[in-house]
Each structure stands twice: as structure tokens, then as C-alpha cells.
Amino acid sequence: MFNQSIIHMFSILLICHSVTRWLVLISLGTTIYRSATGLLNKKHFTKKDDQCRHWTATIIHIQFIFGMVMYFKSPAVARFHMTGLEATRGITDSVFFGIIHISMMLTAVILVTLGSAFAKRYTEDDKKYKTILLYFGIALLIILAAIPWPFSPLAQRPLIRTL
């Protein structure tokens, strides 16, 4: 069904997606931390804070592009679309990646995009910090729930993929 070049491309995308996951988590954590401390300590929203906001949104968009390409090339998603929801029993890899993972991650990307855009437009420092804290914080919780951790009851994958 899948030729060798598609399987090779998919394997490389899996590695990129796996590595970029950590960049997303680190950048979200850093930006949320800076926003929380900035808000609590009543600091000015600095150029560094704005760069963290910007780069976090950029990294999550890059990750989303990797994810969308994988979604349309994934054997697990292809199985889900071929068999349909009624043919699956419970939450299988096909259901997880075909519905749950993509829906939750899309929601998280939208939240980061909106939070970044709103924070960029505010002029008050506390509004910038609060907006980033709220939108990026909710997005982080959704992402943590939607990642197929090795210990996840829904779908398990290694912490870093290799060929």
C-alpha cells in the first residue's frame, strides 16, 4: 500500500515531529514562566518577553505543519479512514491519531495563535502577561494531554523517535 519512499519520508517526519515536540514544550514553559513572574512582580513587558511570545508561536506552527503532513501520510490515520469509526472497538492508535490527537493539537495551536495575537496588540504590560498566561497555559495543558507519552493509556510512543 505504501511505497518505500513514502515510508522513508514518514520516518524522517516522525523524528522531526518528535524533536520539535520538545522545543514546543520548552518554549511554552519558558514563555509561561516569564509571563507568570512578570505579572506577579509587576514587571514591564520587555523585548525578550515579546520574542519568547513570538518564537513560541512560530515553533508551534512549525510543529503543526510537520503534524499535518504526517496526518495525511500516516498509516495509522489511513487505517482509521479506511475502516471507519464504527469498525474500531475502543480507543485504538487509529482513533487516537485520526481524531483525538489532531483535534486537541489543532485546538492548542489556535489558542497559542490567538493568545499571541491578542497579547501583541495590548499596550498594558499586565494585559499582555495575563493573556499569554491564560491562552498558552490552557494550550500547554491540552498538549500535555494529547501527546502519546510512553505511559499514556490512549496511545504510547517513545519520548524521542528514531529510524
Q: pLDDT tens digits for 59-87? A: 999 999 999 988 887 766 666 566 655 55
Query: What span, in angstroms and rounded, lies between the C-alpha atoms of 18 and 14?
Result: 6
Q: If you write DSSP's letter for every residue of 62-111 in order, what string do you get?
A: HHHHHHHHHHHH-HHHHHHHHH-GGG--SS-HHHIIIIIHHHHHHHHHHH
Specify the pLDDT at position 154.
82
Each residue's pLDDT tens digit, 88-104:
566 677 778 888 899 99
CA angle, residues 118, 119, 123, in degrees to nearest 5: 110
